Amino acid sequence: REGDVAGFLDVHETCGACYACLVAKQTTRCPHRKVYGITYGAADGLLGGWSEAIWLKPGVKLLRLPAGLDPETYCAGGCGLNTAIHAVDRAEIRLGDSVVVLGVGPVGQSIIAFASLSGAGQVIAVGAPEPRLTFAARMGATRCLGMDVGEEERQSQILSWTGGRGADVVIEAAGAPEAVRQALGLVRDGGRVVVCGQYTD
């Protein structure tokens, strides 16, 4: 209702009839989807990007914030929090799993928290700078590795911490193409890799 404080889902106009929507259950990959801040340009109207007001097109899903939740607190999580929930859901973390999170920005920090809450036995944060790694420990990381440690040494350390097998789950939240390649070297045979930071071709 008018006056409610609400968030909104930026992916919309999915068709509900294609392979991504019906079979894969990945509506964010629907070829017909529109995304605020990504698929619209300035000529399309007030549809996002640093403006004080935007037009929410018909059909965009709204999420009314509960009473008592400060809007600034919700905004601190914003898109990163929703992305993290989706990534952890896709990862299917099981009780006791070892989880490596590549990237300790807003998305990575949220993934660390959700992985810990999901019952992971180990949550290993990899990233920089040092204050973010310190914060990652507060969010639930059981071990942290900085980018000052070389790639081969990081891989060796993670293999050591996971009994030589590699991690059960690796979630890429760095947005750097090389992190996707590194994830494949850190996951155990038969493990799971979720790519959520790398958003370009």
In whole angstroms, give the CA distance from residue 171 to residue 100: 6
- E strands within 70-200? 98-102, 122-127, 143-146, 167-172, 187-195
Higher pLDDT, 53 or 95: 95
> Would the pTM of this model clear 0.85, i.e. be above it?
no
Kindly report the number of other CB atoms within 10 A of residue 74's CB atom.
16
Q: Distances in Å between the alpha carbon of 28 and those of 11, 25, 162?
A: 7, 9, 33
Which residues 6+ apart lie within 8 Å of 159 measured at CB? 165, 166, 186
In whole angstroms, give the CA distance from residue 10 to residue 36: 5
Q: Is the pLDDT of residue 82 over 90?
A: no
Q: Specify the length of the chain in residues.
A: 201
Residue whose entry in the numeric block shows the structure tokens 């999170």: 101
Tens of pLDDT along 118-130? 999 999 999 999 9
Share of the chain above pLDDT 90, in %: 63
Higher pLDDT, 61 or 94: 94
**Band of the pLDDT at 186, cuts 50, 70, 90?**
very high
